Structure 1
Amino acid sequence: MAGIAVPDRRPLARRVLERWPAVAGAGVAVLSASTGDGAAPVLVAAGFVYLGAAALRRRTAAWPLFWASFVLIAAARFVPGLDAVWSLLAVAAVLAVAGLLGGAARPVTGLPVQAAALLVVGAAAVAAASASPQVAALLVAAGLFGHAGWDLWHHRTGRVVSRSLAEFCGVLDALLAVLVLWVTFG
């Protein structure tokens, strides 16, 4: 009986718990959007986490790197002169050099591709800092939508980061992009 949908009879709470990365990503997106300037650092953090996991050659490093980026973004709110975007890019550069010295240049789909992706999203975030609010919103939202696609590809292939991180980041990126556009142009 192909083609007949069977209703999911599991309790709602269990189904939500199984999708915890998506639920958490939505929550972080809403919190980031509510801060007003939280989207550009989140965009760079997304690239940072992937680059770091590739540099360390450990998919399991993605969640600790996420928490490190979270702490750095939070610290930038309280430490005068500390810029979250530039700090994340600086730490990413250190991780990239360490990864190259440690032999992470192969496979090419690892560190080299992740470094290129971080350059693209980092450039968008840096350009947004000096642009008008409308242009900045478009740059950051485009970067977030692009990274959401990146997350989807990594979730499907199981490469570079854990699937739970890719799911979390995909929901975070896509929803935050929508919220940035809505707050700016809505």
Structure 2
Amino acid sequence: MPRLVRAIARRWPAVLGLAFAAFNLATDDPHSITGALLVLATTAYVVIAALVRPRWSWPVLGILVVVVVTARLVSSGPVVELAAMSAIVVGAIAVGAVRGTFSLPGPYRWQPFAAVGSMALGLGALRLSPEAGRVPIAAGLIGHGVWDLVHWRRHEVVSRSLSEWCGALDLTLGLGVLLLTL
């Protein structure tokens, strides 16, 4: 038994990611397609990349969660939430461009493109019916899960624990949303 406990303790980010994905799938509103987690993950990655501060991964994610929750409290739909995240993404891309961050080799150079692509999926899904909008959101989550794996393996841009948590969350949630859609 202690061996199992140690194994779970070592993989705490993945365990938390799986648990959070299961919670979201179990409590999800089938008529909602905000793609909040896709947009949140993308925003966190590009902000952390622009700052070149992997150690700030969890604090940045925490601040962005506060922004999302605040946007939800002051708004009745996803527009304010997505507008806030879009503004943060644009700001992070500008900061990263000025600092030369996105000319660094490896995953740093792809952060702005990944951010814009994920934001486009999230915003584009709003133009579709809830059922149809879930497909691009699921594809974006699965794609971001693969992106997380790249960051985890290379140990670049974000902390390894965040990429592990995010990968478990994104892949599980993306596959779950896709299965619920079919």
TM interval, shorter chain, is 0.7 to 0.9
Out of 157, 161, 168, the residue aligned to residue 160 of structure 1 is: 157
Is residue 104–residue 110 contact of structure 1 (8 Å, CA) maintained in 2? no
Deviation at 1:129, TM superposition (A): 0.7
TM-score normalised over the length of structure 2: 0.87
Name 2:135's counterpart in structure 1: 138
Distance in 2 between the 1:76 and 1:179 partners?
26
**1:145/1:179 CA distance change after superposition, 3 Å:** same
Is residue 52–residue 61 contact of structure 1 (8 Å, CA) maintained in 2? no
Name 1:11's counterpart in structure 2: 3
Name 1:3's counterpart in structure 2: none
Distance in 1 between the 2:7 and 2:127 partners?
43
Out of 37, 59, 82, the residue aligned to residue 64 of structure 1 is: 59
- 96-105 vs 57-66, greater mean Cα deviation: 96-105
Deviation at 1:38, TM superposition (A): 6.9
**What amino acid is the match of 1:43?**
L
Is residue 39–residue 176 contact of structure 1 (8 Å, CA) maintained in 2? no
Deviation at 1:41, TM superposition (A): 1.1
The structure with more radius of gyration: 1
Out of 54, 58, 67, the residue aligned to residue 49 of structure 2 is: 54
Q: List runs of 5+ in structure 2 lacking aligned partners.
A: none
Name 1:151's counterpart in structure 2: 148
Q: What CA deviation, in whole Å up to 9, does each residue of 1:145-183 have, x standing for no partner?
A: 111111111111111111111100000001111221233
2:99 is equivalent to residue 102 of structure 1 = yes
Deviation at 1:111, TM superposition (A): 4.4
**1:108/1:89 CA distance change after superposition, 3 Å:** farther
Is residue 101–residue 108 contact of structure 2 (8 Å, CA) maintained in 1? yes
Is residue 102–residue 111 contact of structure 2 (8 Å, CA) maintained in 1? no
> Could you say what the CA RMSD is over the residues aligned between the two structures, in angstroms?
2.0
TM-score normalised over the length of structure 1: 0.86
**1:74/1:35 CA distance change after superposition, 3 Å:** farther
- Please give the secondary structure, in 1, of the residue aligned with 2:106: coil
Deviation at 1:110, TM superposition (A): 4.8
- Please give the secondary structure, in 2, of the residue aligned with 1:161: coil
**1:44/1:145 CA distance change after superposition, 3 Å:** same
Higher helix content, 1 or 2: 2
Distance in 1 between the 2:101 and 2:124 partners?
29
Deviation at 1:84, TM superposition (A): 1.8
Name 1:22's counterpart in structure 2: 14
2:69 is equivalent to residue 77 of structure 1 = no
Name 2:178's counterpart in structure 1: 181
